[in-house]
Structure 1
Amino acid sequence: MFNFFKNKVATKQRLPPPVKEVKILNYAQGAASPIKNIYKKTRDEINTADEDIGESKDLLMARSSYLYMNNAIGAAAIKKIRTNVIGRGLRVKPSIANEILGLKQEDVDRIHKEISILWEMFTDECDIENFSNFYQIQSLVLINQLVYGETFVLLPLKKREGQLFDLKIKLVDSTRCQNPSGASDRIKNGVEISEDGEIIGYHFTKSNTSSETVRVEPRGKQSGRRNVLCVMEKERIGQRRGVPILAPVIELLYQLSEYTATEITSASVAALFSVFIKNASEDTFTPEGQDPLDNVETDKENDKDYIVKMGYGTINELPPGKDIVLAAPNRNGAGFEEFVKTLLRQLGAALEIPYEILLTHFTASYSASRAALLEVWKMYSMRRSWLVSDFCKPIYEEFLDECVAKGMLKLPGYENILYRKCYQKAEWYGPVQGQLNPVQEVNAAVTKVKVGISTLERETRELNGGDFEANNMQRHIESEKRGELKNESSI
């Protein structure tokens, strides 16, 4: 009996410990797996925007600039965005908020016309370099923002003889925004922020060749007017500097350039008709500096039997010991086009430009082409609204401030902040979406106006970028002229 209980206890002691329940994490089996081979080459680190962008900013700008200047696809993408977002320039249409101002309609119309006239005068005087007008500066601002990641704009006041406006626009190269010597922790990549993350200063070098920096505040402390505008696309929280639009596809564009160059070289070599004389022994080797065919001619003179001719379909018999080998590179470039198309589709997806739009190559159906145009227009419209918000609108507001301060415009109550913002309301318009079937799209616009979901003014801008009021006035003038001609012909 004792042995029985003893064996029972021993058996119980030898049992394995209970198995603990192990949780199987779903992400750890896929995207967060620490053991899969596909993730072994990745660097699983999370950095701040300043670390990721700041450490690579100069290199990204240099490579993006190179691709814009030397790569056909890179240049095409940036110029296509510039042309469709800005075109001949984004025009302003004053649209004051009269619901709050409570002005008479005739006063509203008068103010709109006066602002428009003065604005067109300003657009010719705004360049600090006295070289470009406002619409050409828009193009330069957007191209630099796309290529380098951002464009810095200064708004100094400079009086020039024979000009009405002191407000000027000065563009600053992105490479000049750098940390000063002994920069504090609040200054990263040339941009200084407060405890709340507000940008309180930009540090620019005095020139492109100088390392000495100057601190410029975004707004004047006493006047409150803008000193610096930074036109950039912000993608991350805490981001202070922009990233070139080509950054995600820089490697792809470099590889595509090398592949294209290799194919061009191979095709050029394959097109050549090269002839090599094969030497069977030292006796048939041509001395350095002599023509390889000279020996053949010598053999011909000695034995009078061998003649070598180069021509279409000719067959030559060579002397003993010499042989002709034709160079015929066997390279099949049939897959080049499809491979490049595949790469360009990936590139277009990253840049939000469909393949057909990127290459201006429409071979699909009307519906497919129309869908591509509609899709890319979303991106154009988005970038246009950003440019208006970051560049056009602030300058327009500074322009109105100067006009009122100098007495060029009489805007009752402008000193009141609320009224001032009401006077500064405006709409901006530029290039319109392309039309594949103008008649069909005009009929659609007419229908939208009839049922009340749009207006003549909006449809005029969206169909051809025109001004409804200017069109209406011109139509009235033409109608009167046609009436005068009709009356004269009836006399």
Structure 2
Amino acid sequence: MNILDKLIGYISPRNGINRLKDRKIYNLAKIEQGYSNKDDPILENWRVSPNSPDEDILYSLDDLRAKSRNLYMNNDLAGAALKKMRTKTVGSGLLPKPTINYTYLGIDREKAKELERIIKNKFNAWALSPNSDASRMFSFYGLQSLLQLSWVMNGDAFAIPLRKKRKGVDIELCVQLLEADRVMNPPGANLQTRAGVEFDENGELKNYYIATSHPADTLNYSIKAYPAFNSLGRKNILHIFEPERIGQRRGVPILGPIIFSLKQLGRYKSSELTAAVINAMIGLIVESESADDEGFAGNFGTPMDEEDERTIESRKRKEEKITLDHGTLVVGKPGEKIKEFATNRPNKHFKDFVEAICEEIGANLEISKEVLMSSFKNSYSAAKASLEEAHQRFQVSRKILERTFCQPIYEEFVLELIRNGEIDCPGFFEDESIRYAFTRCIWVGAGKSSLDPLKDANANSKELENYTTSRSIISATSGYDYEEIFRERAEEEKELALLERELKIIRKGVKENGKNS
């Protein structure tokens, strides 16, 4: 209310009241204009800046990575979330199923199938060997699991396809993984280089700057520039992350938006656990009419300091301290009463509160509370919906891993087979479309969880009848290769048919022998 309002209200109270009402209506209309409601009193102190992706992300990225790793190691829920994503995305490994586009290449189907079998057998032999790892510690499928976990924990991860000549090894291709911390700015970096990633003046990816060792291990390291692409236009450095903004150079840990919630939830759970333990330790309380200022509580929980122990009174209290054991008989002093201690721990609302927080955390991770905590206590429909929603999230992560890591490595492997003369593909090095057609591949991983396999099988049968799916798609969804299953079933049927014929001959002989006898 300004001076004019007061003056009008003094002369004509009714007009003054109407004036105030009209002003409130006007202010409400003004507040509700636009999406931001920037004049809303609740939001007027919310100061934000329209920063670029680099400004919003890179300034606090090192701190986010460190806190994310700390939560993974020390927070049970954070560790469970990241491991769940790793297990459901990669499982025991993503297996390649070559699907050469033989119509585009102009070759017959039988030749394409033979090439696919050769590539698949050679790739699996290489992938299962530690020779696929530059450090010779893991198989290719182990690298998938490690890379997935490192990516979601740190925000991004890097892989370098290398060529190493090793004694007794035909395939020179091997993969070196890099943790996110090793990609960093060199001293005196230009304005186009941030967080170890350099773009040219046209905004095209140019170089990655990689430290020779982890910066936390030693100060004696150097930073080298690696071109992002080679002469064939293929990537020298594979950068695995999930971008969220246009122009984003580096990934953000998946726990980034919920670090505070996870930390506070961990503190709350720890405090409740400590309180429950302390409550369980206290069996009874001794009430004394002649207790001093310190009282009996001075002997509970913490040792007496050295200064008190020097006094006669403290020694006397120490000697007369009441302790509890099985079958203990307590003899009290005159005026002392023993009172039962009523505990209120564990907190009866603890579970409900934790589950409510887990729902919010799961919503941010796109994983339902049931899947996150591996607890399915609701109805079948609710549990089924939770699994379906989570599976969609895991599929997104799987596709990112396939397209940014698995497929490029597979293409490098096929390239080496052609270069070594083990298989032939005319025009492979000259035409990108031929390379794509020849290296086309489907990656098969673990299938989604099923609460009722019979219902799922019936649904698949109905879709086959309606021609809305294929056996290959159903097999891939379940984590299997249809052609392998088909060949194995065919062999089984042949063996069963042979056994049936042999059994008929045996039965016929037994009957004839019985008649003759």
TM-score tier after normalising by the smaller chain length? 0.7 to 0.9
Indicate the residue corresponding to 1:267 in structure 2.
276
Aligned with 2:314 (options 288, 303, 311): 288
Identify the range of structure 1 (326-335 vs 360-369) with the bigger mean alpha-carbon deviation.
Answer: 326-335
Distance 1:88 1:398 in 2: 22
| 2: CA distance, partners of 1:399 / 1:326 | 74
Q: Which residue does 2:157 correspond to in 1?
A: 151
Match of 2:308 in 1: none
Q: Following the alignment from structure 1 to structure 2, what is the Cα–Cα distance between the partners of residues 356 and 317? A: 53
Hey, what does 1:76 align to over in structure 2?
A: 80
Instruction: Name 2:445's counterpart in structure 1.
Output: 430
* TM-aligned CA deviation for residue 31 of structure 1: 3.2
Structure 1 residues 186 and 476, CA gap change in structure 2 (3 angstroms): same
Match of 2:42 among 13, 37, 43: 37
* Aligned Cα root-mean-square deviation (Å): 2.7
Structure 1, gaps ≥5 residues long: 1-21, 297-307
Q: Quick one: which of 373, 398, 411 aligns to 1:397?
A: 411
Q: Deviations over 1:219-253 (max 9, x none)?
A: 22x45443201000100111101000000110000
The DSSP-based 3-state class of the residue aligned with 2:446 is: coil
Shift of 1:269: 1.2
Is 1:53 aligned with 2:67?
A: no
Could you tell me which residue of structure 1 aligns to residue 9 of structure 2? none
One-letter amino acid of the counterpart of residue 33, structure 1: K
CA contact (8 A) 1:276 1:327 kept: no
Change (3 A) 1:45 1:32: farther
**CA spacing shift, 1:30–1:191, aligned 2, 3 Å:** closer
1:201–1:217 Cα contact (<8 Å) kept: yes
Alignment check: 8 A CA contact 1:94 1:112 kept: yes
For residues 115-162 of structure 1, the C-alpha deviation after alignment (integer angstroms, 9 at most, x for no partner) is: 101111221221001111111100011101000000011112111111
| Conserved? CA contact 2:89–2:398, under 8 Å | yes
User: What are the equivalent positions in structure 2 for 1:247-396 lying under 5 Å apart?
Assistant: 247-272=256-281, 273=283, 275-276=285-286, 278=288, 280=290, 287-290=313-316, 292=318, 294=320, 316-319=331-334, 333-396=347-410
* Aligned residue in 2 for 1:141: 147
Distance across 2 between alignment mates of 1:96 and 1:311: 76
* C-alpha deviation, 1:280, in angstroms: 2.1
Question: Does the alignment pair 1:114 with 2:129?
Answer: no
Contact 2:445 2:480 in 1 (8 A): no
Instruction: Tell me, in whole angstroms, the C-alpha distance in 2 between the residues paired with 1:109 and 1:29.
Output: 60
Quote the sequence identity (%): 31
Cross-structure match for 2:94 = 90
Most deviating of 136-145 and 23-32: 23-32
Q: Which stretch has the larger CA shift, 415-424 or 347-356?
A: 415-424
Residue 237 (structure 1) aligns with: 246
**Could you tell me how far 1:455 is from its partner in structure 2?**
1.1
* CA deviations over 1:299-343 (Å, ceiling 9, x no partner): xxxxxxxxx9987797855225x5656665656711111111110
What one-letter code is carried by the residue in structure 2 that aligns with 1:138?
Answer: Q
The amino acid that maps onto 1:408 is E
| 3-state secondary structure, aligned to 1:288 | helix
- What TM-score do the two structures reach when normalised by structure 2? 0.82
1:214 counterpart residue number: 224
> Is 1:201–2:210 an aligned residue pair?
no
1:409 aligns with 423
* Aligned CA distance change for structure 1 residues 132 and 332 (closer, same or farther; 3 Å): closer
Alpha-carbon separation, structure 2, partners of 1:295 and 1:101: 91
In the superposition, relative to structure 1, how do residues 246 and 120 fare at CA in structure 2: closer, same or farther (>3 Å)?
Answer: same
Could you tell me which amino acid in structure 2 is paired with residue 171 of structure 1?
L
CA contact (8 A) 1:277 1:292 kept: no
Answer whether contact 1:28 1:34 (CA < 8 A) is retained. no
Report what 2:17 is aligned to: none
CA contact (8 A) 1:269 1:329 kept: no
C-alpha separation between the residues in 2 aligned to 1:246 and 1:164? 42
Q: Which is worse superposed, 308-317 or 202-211?
A: 308-317
Deviations 1:9-55 (A, max 9, x none): xxxxxxxxxxxxx9965655873324513552x33222111111111
Name the CA shift for 1:289/1:28 in 2 (closer, same or farther; >3 Å): farther
**How far apart, in 1, do the equivalents of 2:343 and 2:324 lie?**
23
CA distance in 2, matches of 1:132, 1:241: 26
Work out which of the residue numbers 222, 228, 248 in structure 1 matches 2:237: 228
The residue type equivalent to 2:227 in the other structure is E
Task: State the alpha-carbon separation in 1 of the partners of residues 321 and 173 from structure 2.
Answer: 82
Residue 187 of structure 1: which of 182, 193, 206 is its match? 193
Equivalent residues of 2:91, 2:445 under 8 A apart: yes
SS of the aligned residue for 2:209 comes to strand
The AA in structure 2 aligned to 1:425 is: R
4+ residue segments displaced more than 6 Å: 281-286, 308-315
> d(CA) in 1 for partners of 2:167 and 2:497?
47
Could you tell me how far apart the structure 1 residues matched to 2:209 and 2:289 are? 71
Show structure 2 runs of 5+ residues with no match: 1-25, 297-311, 507-517
Contact 2:161–2:237 under 8 Å retained in 1: yes
Q: 1:309 and 1:169 mapped to 2: Cα distance?
A: 62
Q: Which residues of 2 match residues 127-138 of structure 1 at below 5 A?
A: 127-138=133-144
Helix, strand or coil for the counterpart of 1:171?
Answer: strand
Q: In 2, distance between residues paired with 1:281 and 1:430?
A: 70
Tell me the SS of whatever aligns to 1:168: strand
Instruction: Report the Cα distance in structure 1 between the residues aligned to 2:347 and 2:43, rounded to whole angstroms.
Output: 31
CA distance in 2: counterparts of 1:142 and 1:374, whole angstroms: 21
One-letter identity of the residue aligned with 1:240: R
